[in-house]
A and B are shown apart, each in its own frame.
Chain A
Amino acid sequence: MGNQFLLIISATIFCIGSVGFLIRRNPLIMFMCIELMLNAVNLLLVGYSGFLNSLDGQIFALMIMAVAAAEVVVGLAIILTIFRTRHELDVDHMNVLKG
């Protein structure tokens, strides 16, 4: 069963994340969905690192966590500012940059 199970779990989490990202309108929830997707990948990397007896995957996972943390810092700051100025959070209303 081993790595098949791992693949199914990872793919499932990734799909949940991506569908959630597409259908939700609250940016905070969308952020969580992004985290889901990233961590699905992390899961896969760490799991395969165990199967293949290589540390590369685990190092890579650590890198992704660091990047994700940085991204969340920036993103949350933006979301906070938007909420302060507009008193609402709905990505469908944030369309002033449309062509």
Chain B
Amino acid sequence: MFLYAWLILILPLLGFVALSWVGNRLPEKLAGLAGCATVGASFLVTLICAGKMIGLEPADRLNHVEILYTWISSGSFNLDLAILVDPLSIFMFLIVTGVGFLIHVYSISYMKGDPEFSRFFAYLNLFIFSMLLLVAAADFFFLIVGWALVGLASYLLIGFWRDKTSAVLAARKAFIMNVIGDVGMVIAAFVIFDNFGTLNFVDVFSAAPDQFRLNDDTILLITLLLLVGAFAKSAQLPLHTWLPDAMEGPTPVSALIHAATMVTAGVYLVARCHVLYELAPYTMFLIAGIGALTAIFAGSMALVQYDIKRVIAYSTMSQLGFMFLAVGVGAFSIGMFHLMTHAFFKALLFLAAGSVIHGLNGEQDIRKMGGLRKVMPLTHITFLVGALALAGFPLTSGFFSKEAIIMSSFYSPLGNFVFWGIAVIAAGMTGFYIFRVYFYTFYGSSRSPEVHSHESPLVMLGPLLALAGLALVGGVLGPWTHEFLAPVFGVESPHYHDVMLETVTVVIGLGGILIAALIYLTSSDRLEFAKQAFAPLYDLLLNKYYVDEIYDFLIVKPTKAIGVFLEEKGEKYGIDYAVDEVGRQVRYVSSLVSLWQSGKVRTYALNMMAGLVVVLLFVVFL
């Protein structure tokens, strides 16, 4: 019924293959066009699918498994090359291809003149394909394949400028952190197969409620192992350290992978496996707790960073924390709604930041920016829209989704006052840190007058304006999202309204903006005063809670020490000695045996004759 949904996946894959094959022989314009066209076409097919899906009765929207062919069939194990088309996957397709297309267009201008222009687009297309495979997979096997492929694409794109040491190190860090998650996922798949005898989503999810009681050991194990993967991919505590470093990649990459799509895969995973998670309330509580902690922890680190992209990266972690909080308290469709609005405004913020960086010839330190609102009016407007949406300013898209999360963190059966409190404080921080960046960047006077900043070209501004529109009015999609996703999650997430709590949330969010304005807009005395008053805290935040250092001390250093020890002792006296000794013994034995080979023809002849005589005697007399 949705067999043509395969086109959504195949088109970007074709783009990747074509660009990596002949890309470096194509002129820049053609390579960029090919990269964008495949994703754009994929978006159009998605729209067709979505239209058809909306035309169906809600009950018929589920479990459309489109099988291309059976890949492996071995005993009871059966693996089809199949995708699952249902409202959830269509929803993710729309975000991935829609936002992805805009970012592709933006990249044409952003990466202009890069000597490896086509390689960049090839990787972007590979990423889009992998992400689509991840969200389209109809079983845990292809989910893990997509999961690993997006990790690969992320690695390739973070380290795109491969002659930059910091970028290569960041790529490696991201890859290692993600592989830790992949291991969890793979073990989870083993446990699932062991218990259900299949990896198909449809079969597993229909069997699970009958097979397990609430909080069974096995279901807890499965959900926790899946969670390792989700947390690593979505940069939640304690596997978050790679995301800020991932900003070493080109800015469109940060926007596409490390804000809008890939990092939300963890939220998608929990939503996709909601049947399993609903059987494991303990795990749900953990998700909500970690999500709330990450929201406030990352938000606090964003307060003091000076790199414009890092602030937005920490903000991404914080917002992902909100999403996990939402799915953790059982408000799955609200979490997905925030995923969508976040994709809009966070991609917008990153692209606007990229436009600023582009205009300032690569400057990323907000202390060296300033007064850009006159020079880059359109970038200024779009950034402001993104910042307002992120801060949850009333009637922007972020307001609706964040408000819904904060309400359900209090009112839903799994919510409580602590979650609500943390979420509200994190929301207040959001307003502060993003407007701190905003005032630093666009107000005051230019702090580096030697750079002649300029507004970005239209190819970059187009996607910015489109995303700004979505970020501004995306909130109206809220009711549609809940209705569209309702068949997947069984019931529609209820909407809680409480005028007092909502007012508190809004006031605290606006308070953050106001404090930022007071500190950064008026005079620098207050800034210095605040820095000194909270000096220890300030240092702690600036150094990101020393998590990198703790990991370095706890894991990296001991591992290195073991490695050095094994190299010096184990390898030299163990492996090397054993290998050398085997070689020596073989050589000795062969030196004995080779004495037979005298090189004298007559000796050989004599031996042959003697052998013949022996054989003859044997035949005749025995």
- A and B bind: yes
Q: Which A residues are within 8 Å of any B CB, using their own CB?
A: 18, 21-23, 25, 27, 30, 91-92, 94-99
Contact B597 A99 (CB under 8 A): yes
B164 adjacent to chain A (CB < 8 Å): no
CB-based contact A95/B600 at 8 Å:
yes
- Could you tell me if A95 and B598 are in contact, using CB atoms closer than 8 angstroms? yes
Q: With the chains together, A99 CA to B609 CA distance in Å?
A: 21
Could you list 14 further interchain pairs (A-B, Cβ under 8 angstroms) beyond the known A91-B601, A99-B595?
Answer: A18-B609, A21-B602, A22-B605, A22-B609, A25-B602, A27-B601, A92-B600, A94-B601, A95-B599, A96-B599, A97-B599, A98-B600, A99-B596, A99-B597
Q: Which of B566-622 contact A (CB under 8 A)?
A: 593-602, 605-606, 609
Q: Report the separation of the CA atoms of residues A83 and B594 in the bound assembly, to the nearest whole angstrom.
A: 28
In the A-B complex, list the 10 residue pairs whose CB atoms are closest, starting with the nearest: A98-B599, A99-B594, A95-B599, A99-B597, A91-B601, A97-B599, A98-B598, A95-B600, A22-B606, A98-B597
- Which residues of the other chain, B, contact A92 by a CB distance below 8 angstroms? 600, 602
Set of chain B residues within 8 Å of A25, measured between Cβ atoms: 602
Tell me, rounded to whole Å, the shortest Cβ–Cβ distance linking A76 to chain B: 16
Cα–Cα, bound, A78→B81 (Å): 64
Complex: how many Å from CA A92 to CA B602?
8
Tell me the bound Cα distance from A97 to B600 in angstroms. Answer: 9
Which residues of A have CB within 8 Å of B598?
95, 98-99
Specify the chain A residue showing the minimal Cβ separation from B592.
Answer: A99
Q: How far is the CB of B604 from chain A (nearest CB, A)?
A: 10
A96: B residues at CB distance < 8 A = 599
User: Interface residues of B, CB < 8 Å — how many?
Assistant: 13
Q: How far is the CA of A18 from the CA of B612 in the complex (A)?
A: 12
B residues contacting A by CB (< 8 A) are: 593-602, 605-606, 609
A22 to B608, CA, bound (A): 11
Cα A97 to Cα B593 with chains together (Å): 14
Provided the pairs A18-B609, A22-B609 are in contact, do residues A91 and B597 lie with their beta carbons within 8 angstroms?
A: no
Q: Which residues of B contact A91 (CB under 8 A)?
A: 600-602
Q: How far is the CB of A22 from chain B (nearest CB, A)?
A: 6
CA distance A97 to B594 in the complex (A): 11
- Which residues of chain B have C-beta atoms less than 8 A from A99's C-beta? 593-599
What B residues does A27 contact at CB under 8 A?
601
Q: Assuming A18-B609, A22-B606, A22-B609, is B601 touching A97 (CB within 8 A)?
A: no
10 contacts between A and B (CB under 8 A): A21-B602, A22-B602, A25-B602, A91-B602, A98-B597, A98-B600, A99-B593, A99-B594, A99-B595, A99-B596
CA distance A23 to B601 in the complex (A): 11
* Nearest CB of chain B from residue A98's CB, rounded to whole Å: 3
Q: Name the A residues within 8 Å of B602 (CB-CB).
A: 21-23, 25, 91-92
**Which residues on B sit within 8 Å (CB–CB) of A18?**
609
Q: How far is the CA of A94 from the CA of B601 in the complex (A)?
A: 8
Residue on A with the closest CB to B597?
A99
Contact A21 B596 (CB under 8 A): no
Q: In the complex, what distance in Å separates the CA atom of A32 from the CA atom of B588?
A: 40
Closest to B601 in A: A91
| Chain A hits for B599, CB < 8 A | 94-99
